[in-house]
């Protein structure tokens, strides 16, 4: 039964791998499952055919036979549950790895998203210069709490898991701000994630599409 995901027809990041389909591609590469991609434009995302698979008109989505999923966290959890390799077999270790997935999405990512909003989407607002340092410090507070976890450990809890996949994917979004480099241990952790062959394949696949789009104009 084939797997089909959706991705931007043309990612606004031009192929830096920051759009969330990269997380799904990475998970599928880790578990060595082939997949196809249906590319959608911003306009098509808001049309009934796509809204039928994603109620909020976004990417990524995941289709596998009669199963249709949206929300990256749910998709990666499904992939990790359905195929071996991304979650430990031992019950408690498995629950902890899933906890790290939620921590990445619910505790670490929200201030990072706020920072992106403040830096990019609200860049022209009169209160931007006042707000930006506050938001940046909220990110730093979380990174300061997370850092000790990785001081002497390669991954968050034993072997690499879906929790690390999600945490690295979330932290990656910080790179352009320069804040990640203030935490060398976390920067190294992200680099370890990016060095994984499965990540490299996922990154290359999304880059190839965005490069082709750039050439096509």
Footprint of ligand GTB (CB under 6 A): 11-13, 18-20, 45, 57-59, 71-72
d(CA 83, CA 63): 15
For residue 174, give the nearest of 108, 106, 107, 97 by alpha carbon.
108
Q: Of 87, 69, 65, give the one whose Cα is nearest residue 21.
A: 69
* Closest separation in Å from C-beta 61 to ligand GTB: 9
Give the integer Cα–Cα distance in Å for 134 and 140.
10
Of 71 and 194, nearer to ligand GTB (C-beta) is 71
**Which of residues 20 and 25 has its CB atom nearest to ligand GTB in the complex?**
20
Shorter beta-carbon distance to ligand GTB: residue 72 or 161: 72
Shortest separation between residue 88's beta carbon and ligand GTB, angstroms: 23
Q: CB 10 → ligand GTB: shortest distance, Å?
A: 10
Report how far apart, in Å, the C-alpha atoms of 65 and of each of 2, 28, 68, 129 are. 7, 16, 8, 49
How many Cβ atoms from other residues are within 10 Å of residue 13's Cβ? 14
Residue with Cβ nearer ligand GTB (58 or 161): 58
Q: What is the smallest separation between the CB atom of 214 and ligand GTB, expressed in angstroms?
A: 14
* Number of residue whose CB is nearest ligand GTB: 58
């Amino acid at each position: 039964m084939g797997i089909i995901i959706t991705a931007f027809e043309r990612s606004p990041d031009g192929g830096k791998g920051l759009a969330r389909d990269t997380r799904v591609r990475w998970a599928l590469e880790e578990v060595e499952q082939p997949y196809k991609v249906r590319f959608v434009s911003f306009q098509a995302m808001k049309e009934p055919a796509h809204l039928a698979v994603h109620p909020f008109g976004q990417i990524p989505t995941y289709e596998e036979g009669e199963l249709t999923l949206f929300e990256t966290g749910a998709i990666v959890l499904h992939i990790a549950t359905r195929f071996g390799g991304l979650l430990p077999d031992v019950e408690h270790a498995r629950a902890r790895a899933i906890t790290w997935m939620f921590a990445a999405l619910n505790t670490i990512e929200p201030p990072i998203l706020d920072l992106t909003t403040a830096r990019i989407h609200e860049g022209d607002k009169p209160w931007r210069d006042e707000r930006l340092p506050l938001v940046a410090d909220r990110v730093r507070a979380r990174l300061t709490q997370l850092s000790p976890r990785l001081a002497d450990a390669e991954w968050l809890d034993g072997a690499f898991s879906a929790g690390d996949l999600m945490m690295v994917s979330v932290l990656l979004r910080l790179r352009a701000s320069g804040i990640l480099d203030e935490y060398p241990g976390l920067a190294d952790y992200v680099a370890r994630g990016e060095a994984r062959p499965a990540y490299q394949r996922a990154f290359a696949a999304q880059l190839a599409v965005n490069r082709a789009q750039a050439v096509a104009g």
